Amino acid sequence: MRVLIADDTVLMRAMLSEQVASYGHEVILARDGREALDRAWSEPFDIAIIDWEMPHLSGLEVCWHLRADPRSAYAYLILMTAHDDAFYEFKALDAGADDFIHKPVNSAHLKARLKAGGRIAAMQQQLLDQARTDPLTGLANRRSVLERAEEEIARSRRYGHPLSVVMADIDHFKRINDTYGHAAGDEALKRFARALHEDLRPCDLVGRYGGEEFVVLLPETGIADAPMVAERLRARVAALPVEQDGVRFHMTASFGVAAVDGIGVDGIGGDGAAPGPGPAGGRGIEAALTEADAALYRAKEAGRNRVVVAG
Ligand SMILES: [Mg+2]
């Protein structure tokens, strides 16, 4: 586990970090409340051990901030104080702490608390992963794709880099289900997802948008290059056999491609490229997806198994 330790005394930090590291955990150190928040939001952690009495921000305030922020809302927080009074314990739990330990810290006690906290943190992580994943294909689900797409858009605007989106839809999917059965339909979806996953770069964002529709976000890729990526995917999918219960068949898919924000329309990213309309005039992922979807519709109209570029 990654354990954030926030304490303003050198001795306490040294002692806690040595103990926590000796249990096999990775330690992230912070010297006060403000640094604790900075570290917490820049480096993911599983459990935080936070001293109550610290300059700038108290441990109690750190707990409030961590709970209120989506980046750390589900972390396991242990507040620590020398005060041996039930009042402090109530206040700690009320501020959002999951647990409370007294100073001086008993090492066996700390070890047990970390173990219990680790169980909760792991379960939270598992639930979060499940909520973001499409169970059939293992790809990001619609909600997760939209969330991560907004992050990618913000990044591309910040650096003036191009970003494109591809909507893909398996052709005549209902016919696959009707002809070969629903297990074969599921297998086709899984095979399709795997093809996307294998063909694309790790930085590309791939998700199941719903039904037999998939979405691919291509960072650093302008509208001049994105259709080539889509064409490669199209050819790969068309060549892939799907096998289910000894039956073998082929599928095709149609693709709609659109630029996000019109950034890098000429396909030139970074240096020299105009950084698009900027945050104020920029549009969200929804507008780009609507364009890509319209292009996808035209690909279907034109006979399927093809790539159409928006506009
Ligand atoms: Mg202190």
pLDDT at 282: 59
Which of 132, 162, 193 marks a domain boundary?
132
Range of the domain at 183: 142-309
For the chain, the 3-state helix, strand and coil shares in percent, each to the nearest 5, are 45, 20, 30
Residues 38 and 187 in one domain: no
φ, ψ of residue 191 to 5 degrees: the values are -65, -40
Same domain, 155 and 238: yes
Q: Are residues 44 and 111 in the same domain?
A: yes
> What does the DSSP 8-state code read for residue 67?
H
Instruction: Give the Å distance between the CA of 80 and the centre of ligand 1.
Output: 9
Confirm whether 260 is domain-assigned: yes
pLDDT at 270 (0 to 100): 38
Indicate whether 147 and 241 sit together in one domain: yes
Å from CA of 79 to ligand 1 middle: 11
Q: What residue spans of the chain are helical by DSSP H?
A: 10-22, 33-42, 59-68, 86-94, 107-132, 142-159, 173-180, 182-199, 226-239, 278-281, 285-301
Q: E strand or H helix at 190, and its extent?
A: helix 182-199
Looking at the DSSP bridge assignments, the partners of residue 244 are 247
184, 101: one domain: no
Looking at the structure, tell me whether residues 116 and 152 fall in a common domain. Answer: no
State whether 279 and 223 are in the same domain.
Answer: yes
DSSP state of 74: T
Point out the domain boundary residue: 132, 163, 183.
Answer: 132
In a domain, 259, yes or no: yes
Distance 13 CA to ligand 1 centre (A): 10
User: What is the DSSP-derived secondary structure letter of residue 266?
Assistant: T
Q: What separation in Å is there between the alpha carbon of 174 and the centre of ligand 1?
A: 64
Three-class SS state of 181: coil
Residues 151 and 272 in one domain: yes
Active site residue 231: no
- CA of 31 from ligand 1 middle (Å) equals 9
Q: Is residue 283 part of a domain?
A: yes
Same domain membership, residue 147 and residue 128: no
Q: Which amino acid is at 50?
A: I
Length of the chain equals 311
Give me the tens of pLDDT residue by residue for the chain, a chain 311 residues long: 999 999 999 999 999 999 999 999 999 999 999 999 999 999 989 999 999 999 989 999 999 999 999 888 889 999 999 988 889 999 999 999 999 999 999 999 999 999 999 999 999 989 989 999 999 999 999 999 998 898 899 889 899 999 999 999 999 999 999 999 999 999 999 999 999 988 999 999 999 999 999 999 999 999 999 999 999 999 999 999 999 999 999 999 999 999 986 443 433 333 334 444 444 345 678 899 999 999 999 999 999 999 999 98
Compute the distance from residue 54 Cα to the ligand 1 centre, in Å. Answer: 5
Domains of the chain: total? 2
Q: How far is the CA of 24 from the centre of ligand 1 (A)?
A: 25
Catalytic residue among 212, 213, 231, 286: 212
CATH at 230: 3.30.70.270
Gyration radius of the chain's alpha carbons = 25
Give a yes or no: residue 137 inside a domain: no
* pTM, entire model: 0.73
| Same domain membership, residue 259 and residue 186 | yes
